[in-house]
Amino acid sequence: MNQLKLGLPKGSLENATIALFEKAGWLIKPAARNYFPKIDDPELACSICRPQEMSRYVESGMLDAGITGKDWTMENESDTVLVGDLIYSKVSRKPTRWVIAVAGDSDIKTLEDLEGKKVSTELVNVTKRFFAEKKINVDIEFSWGATEAKVVAGLVDAVVEVTETESTIRAHGLRIIHDLMESNTQFIANREAWQDPWKREKVENIFMLLQGALKADRIVGLKMNISEEKLEDIVDILPCLNAPTIAHLYNQKWYSVETVVSEDIVRDLIPQLKKKGAEGIIEYPLNKVI
Amino acid sequence: MNQLKLGLPKGSLENATIALFEKAGWLIKPAARNYFPKIDDPELACSICRPQEMSRYVESGMLDAGITGKDWTMENESDTVLVGDLIYSKVSRKPTRWVIAVAGDSDIKTLEDLEGKKVSTELVNVTKRFFAEKKINVDIEFSWGATEAKVVAGLVDAVVEVTETESTIRAHGLRIIHDLMESNTQFIANREAWQDPWKREKVENIFMLLQGALKADRIVGLKMNISEEKLEDIVDILPCLNAPTIAHLYNQKWYSVETVVSEDIVRDLIPQLKKKGAEGIIEYPLNKVI
Amino acid sequence: MNQLKLGLPKGSLENATIALFEKAGWLIKPAARNYFPKIDDPELACSICRPQEMSRYVESGMLDAGITGKDWTMENESDTVLVGDLIYSKVSRKPTRWVIAVAGDSDIKTLEDLEGKKVSTELVNVTKRFFAEKKINVDIEFSWGATEAKVVAGLVDAVVEVTETESTIRAHGLRIIHDLMESNTQFIANREAWQDPWKREKVENIFMLLQGALKADRIVGLKMNISEEKLEDIVDILPCLNAPTIAHLYNQKWYSVETVVSEDIVRDLIPQLKKKGAEGIIEYPLNKVI
Amino acid sequence: MNQLKLGLPKGSLENATIALFEKAGWLIKPAARNYFPKIDDPELACSICRPQEMSRYVESGMLDAGITGKDWTMENESDTVLVGDLIYSKVSRKPTRWVIAVAGDSDIKTLEDLEGKKVSTELVNVTKRFFAEKKINVDIEFSWGATEAKVVAGLVDAVVEVTETESTIRAHGLRIIHDLMESNTQFIANREAWQDPWKREKVENIFMLLQGALKADRIVGLKMNISEEKLEDIVDILPCLNAPTIAHLYNQKWYSVETVVSEDIVRDLIPQLKKKGAEGIIEYPLNKVI
Amino acid sequence: MNQLKLGLPKGSLENATIALFEKAGWLIKPAARNYFPKIDDPELACSICRPQEMSRYVESGMLDAGITGKDWTMENESDTVLVGDLIYSKVSRKPTRWVIAVAGDSDIKTLEDLEGKKVSTELVNVTKRFFAEKKINVDIEFSWGATEAKVVAGLVDAVVEVTETESTIRAHGLRIIHDLMESNTQFIANREAWQDPWKREKVENIFMLLQGALKADRIVGLKMNISEEKLEDIVDILPCLNAPTIAHLYNQKWYSVETVVSEDIVRDLIPQLKKKGAEGIIEYPLNKVI
Amino acid sequence: MNQLKLGLPKGSLENATIALFEKAGWLIKPAARNYFPKIDDPELACSICRPQEMSRYVESGMLDAGITGKDWTMENESDTVLVGDLIYSKVSRKPTRWVIAVAGDSDIKTLEDLEGKKVSTELVNVTKRFFAEKKINVDIEFSWGATEAKVVAGLVDAVVEVTETESTIRAHGLRIIHDLMESNTQFIANREAWQDPWKREKVENIFMLLQGALKADRIVGLKMNISEEKLEDIVDILPCLNAPTIAHLYNQKWYSVETVVSEDIVRDLIPQLKKKGAEGIIEYPLNKVI
Q: Determine, for residues A247 and C266 on separate chains, whether the beta-carbon distance falls below 8 Å.
A: no
Do A178 and A127 form a contact (C-beta atoms < 8 A)? Answer: no
Looking at the partner chain, which of B91, B251, B270 has a beta carbon nearest the beta carbon of C209?
B270
List the single residue in B with minimal CA-CA distance to C29: B91
Touching subunits for chain A (3+ Cβ pairs under 8 A):
B, C, F
pLDDT in tens, A271-288: 999 999 998 899 999 998
SS3 content of chain A, % helix, strand, coil (to 5): 35, 30, 30
Q: Is B213 helix (H, G, I), strand (E, B) or coil?
A: helix
Q: In chain B, what are the domain boundaries?
A: 4-89+185-215, 96-182, 219-285
Domain E4-89+185-215 adopts which CATH fold? D-Maltodextrin-Binding Protein; domain 2 (3.40.190)
- Cβ of residue E286 closer than 8 Å to a chain F Cβ: no
Do B106 and B150 form a contact (C-beta atoms < 8 A)? Answer: no
Q: How do beta strands F44-49 and F4-9 pair?
A: parallel
Would the CA dihedral through B136, B139, B144, B149 be positive or negative? negative
Contacts of A290 in chain C (CB under 8 A): 270, 274, 281-282
Q: How long, in residues, is chain E?
A: 290
Quote the pLDDT of residue E34.
Answer: 47
Q: Quick count: other Cβ atoms within 10 Å of Cβ D1? A: 4
CA angle F137, F142, F147 (to 5 degrees): 100
Nearest CA-CA partner of E176 in E108, E123, E113: E108
Name the percent of chain A lying above pLDDT 90: 59
**Cα distances (angstroms) measured from residue F284 to each of A54, E284, E290, F221, F274:** 56, 8, 20, 5, 17
Q: How confident is the model at residue A222 (pLDDT cuts 50, 70, 90)?
A: very high
Give Cβ neighbours of residue E206 (< 8 Å, ≥ 6 apart). Answer: D267, E6, E24, E65, E187
Looking at the partner chain, which of F250, F270, F280 has a beta carbon nearest the beta carbon of D209?
F270
pLDDT in tens, E3-23: 999 999 987 788 889 999 988
Looking at the partner chain, which of D248, D284, D290 has a beta carbon nearest the beta carbon of F274?
D290
Do C229 and C278 form a contact (C-beta atoms < 8 A)? Answer: no
Residues 19-48 of E with CB under 8 A from D: 24-27, 29, 38, 40-41
Contacts of E285 in chain D (CB under 8 A): 284-285
Mean per-residue pLDDT of chain C: 89
Q: Determine, for residues F36 and A153 on separate chains, whether the beta-carbon distance falls below 8 Å.
A: yes
pLDDT in tens, B190-233: 999 999 999 999 999 999 999 999 988 878 999 999 999 999 99
Quote the pLDDT of residue D185.
Answer: 94
DSSP secondary structure letter of residue C249: B
Q: Determine, for residues D283 and E284 on separate chains, whether the beta-carbon distance falls below 8 Å.
A: no
CA atoms of A40 and A42, how far apart (whole Å): 7
Q: 3-state secondary structure string, chain F?
A: CCCEEEEEECCCCHHHHHHHHHHHCCCEECCCCCCCCEECCCCEEEEEECHHHHHHHHHHCCCCEEEEEHHHHHHCCCCCEEEEECCCCCCCCCCEEEEEEEECCCCCCCHHHHCCCEEEECCHHHHHHHHHHCCCCCEEEECCCCHHHHHHCCCCCEEEEEECCCHHHHHCCEEEEEEEEEECEEEEECHHHHHCHHHHHHHHHHHHHHHHHHHHHHEEEEEEEEEHHHHHHHHHHCCCCCCCEEEECCCCCEEEEEEEEEHHHHHHHHHHHHHCCCEEEEEEECCEEC
CA atoms of F165 and F169, how far apart (whole Å): 9
Looking at the partner chain, which of E91, E250, E279 has a beta carbon nearest the beta carbon of F247?
E250
Do B111 and B100 form a contact (C-beta atoms < 8 A)? Answer: yes
Nearest CA-CA partner of C208 in C290, C85, C89, C286: C290
pLDDT in tens, C119-171: 999 999 999 999 999 999 999 988 877 788 788 777 789 999 999 888 889 88
Q: How confident is the model at residue F262 (pLDDT cuts 50, 70, 90)?
A: confident
Which uninterrupted H or E stretch holds C6? strand C4-9
Q: Is A34 helix (H, G, I), strand (E, B) or coil?
A: coil
CATH number of B96-182: 3.40.190.10
Q: Is C174 helix (H, G, I), strand (E, B) or coil?
A: strand
Do E99 and E158 form a contact (C-beta atoms < 8 A)? Answer: no
Quote the pLDDT of residue F89.
Answer: 62
In the chain, the amino acid numbered E233 is D
| E38, β-bridge pairs | E29
Ramachandran angles phi, psi of D72, nearest 5°: -75, -30
Q: Is A169 helix (H, G, I), strand (E, B) or coil?
A: helix
Would the CA dihedral through C9, C15, C17, C21 be positive or negative? positive
Contacts of F141 in chain A (CB under 8 A): 56
CA atoms of F182 and F162, how far apart (whole Å): 9
CA atoms of F129 and E74, how far apart (whole Å): 73
In the chain, the amino acid numbered D86 is L
CA atoms of F258 and F267, how far apart (whole Å): 17
Contacts of F285 in chain E (CB under 8 A): 284-285
Do A81 and A188 form a contact (C-beta atoms < 8 A)? Answer: yes
Architecture of domain C219-285: 2-Layer Sandwich (3.30)
Q: How confident is the model at residue D33 (pLDDT cuts 50, 70, 90)?
A: very low
Q: Determine, for residues B248 and C246 on separate chains, whether the beta-carbon distance falls below 8 Å.
A: no
Q: Average pLDDT by consecutive 10-residue portion of chain B (290 residues)?
A: 90 86 88 70 88 89 94 95 86 80 95 95 95 96 81 85 89 93 96 97 94 88 91 86 78 85 88 91 90
- What does the CA dihedral A139, A144, A147, A152 come to, rounded to 10 degrees? -80
Quote the pLDDT of residue F242.
Answer: 67
Burial class (CB in 10 A: 0-12, 13-18, 19+), A151: buried
Quote the pLDDT of residue F146.
Answer: 82
List the single residue in F with minimal CA-CA distance to E279: F290
- Cβ of residue D290 closer than 8 Å to a chain F Cβ: yes
Mean per-residue pLDDT of chain D: 89
Nearest CA-CA partner of F49 in A161, A139, A169, A153: A153
Would the CA dihedral through F248, F252, F253, F254 be positive or negative? negative
- Cβ of residue D216 closer than 8 Å to a chain F Cβ: yes
- Does A contact D via 3+ CB–CB distances below 8 Å? no
Q: Determine, for residues B62 and E172 on separate chains, whether the beta-carbon distance falls below 8 Å.
A: no
- Cβ of residue C250 closer than 8 Å to a chain A Cβ: yes
Nearest CA-CA partner of F213 in F22, F14, F28, F41: F22
CA atoms of C23 and F215, how far apart (whole Å): 62
**Cα distances (angstroms) measured from residue D179 to each of C141, D162, D175, D183, D186:** 30, 10, 12, 11, 20
Contacts of A2 in chain C (CB under 8 A): none
Residues 70-129 of D with CB under 8 A from C: none
Task: Kindly tell me if the per-residue pLDDT of F92 is higher than 60.
Answer: no
Quote the pLDDT of residue B165.
Answer: 86
Q: Is B239 helix (H, G, I), strand (E, B) or coil?
A: coil
Do E8 and E47 form a contact (C-beta atoms < 8 A)? Answer: yes
CA atoms of C54 and C38, how far apart (whole Å): 19
Model pTM above 0.95:
no
The number of C-alpha atoms within 13 Å of A42 and in the hemisphere containing its C-beta is 2
Residue spans of chain C under pLDDT 70:
31-35, 89-93, 240-242
Q: Determine, for residues F282 and D216 on separate chains, whether the beta-carbon distance falls below 8 Å.
A: yes
Quote the pLDDT of residue F35.
Answer: 64
CA atoms of B94 and B97, how far apart (whole Å): 9
Contacts of E38 in chain D (CB under 8 A): 91
Domains D4-89+185-215 and D219-285 share a fold: no
CA atoms of D45 and D173, how far apart (whole Å): 45
Q: Quick count: other Cβ atoms within 10 Å of Cβ A86? A: 18
Per the model's pLDDT, the better-predicted residue between F156 and A249 turns out to be F156
Mean per-residue pLDDT of chain A: 90
Probe site for chain A from F150, F157, F167 (most A CB atoms < 10 A): F150
| E259, β-bridge pairs | E222
- Cβ of residue C153 closer than 8 Å to a chain A Cβ: no
Q: Determine, for residues D266 and E290 on separate chains, whether the beta-carbon distance falls below 8 Å.
A: no
Q: 3-state secondary structure string, chain D?
A: CCCEEEEEECCCCHHHHHHHHHHHCCCEECCCCCCCCEECCCCEEEEEECHHHHHHHHHHCCCCEEEEEHHHHHHCCCCCEEEEECCCCCCCCCCEEEEEEEECCCCCCCCHHHCCCEEEECCHHHHHHHHHHHCCCCEEEECCCCHHHHHHCCCCCEEEEEECCCHHHHHCCEEEEEEEEEECEEEEECHHHHHCHHHHHHHHHHHHHHHHHHHHCCEEEEEEEEEHHHHHHHHHHCCCCCCCEEEECCCCCEEEEEEEEEHHHHHHHHHHHHHHCCEEEEEEECCEEC
Q: How confident is the model at residue E263 (pLDDT cuts 50, 70, 90)?
A: confident
Segment F200-228 mean pLDDT:
91
Touching subunits for chain F (3+ Cβ pairs under 8 A):
A, D, E
Nearest CA-CA partner of F163 in F121, F220, F118, F195: F121
Nearest CA-CA partner of F102 in F138, F70, F144, F129: F138
DSSP secondary structure letter of residue E137: -
Task: Kindly tell me if the per-residue pLDDT of D32 is higher than 60.
Answer: no
Distance, in angstroms, between E156 CA and closest chain D CA?
47
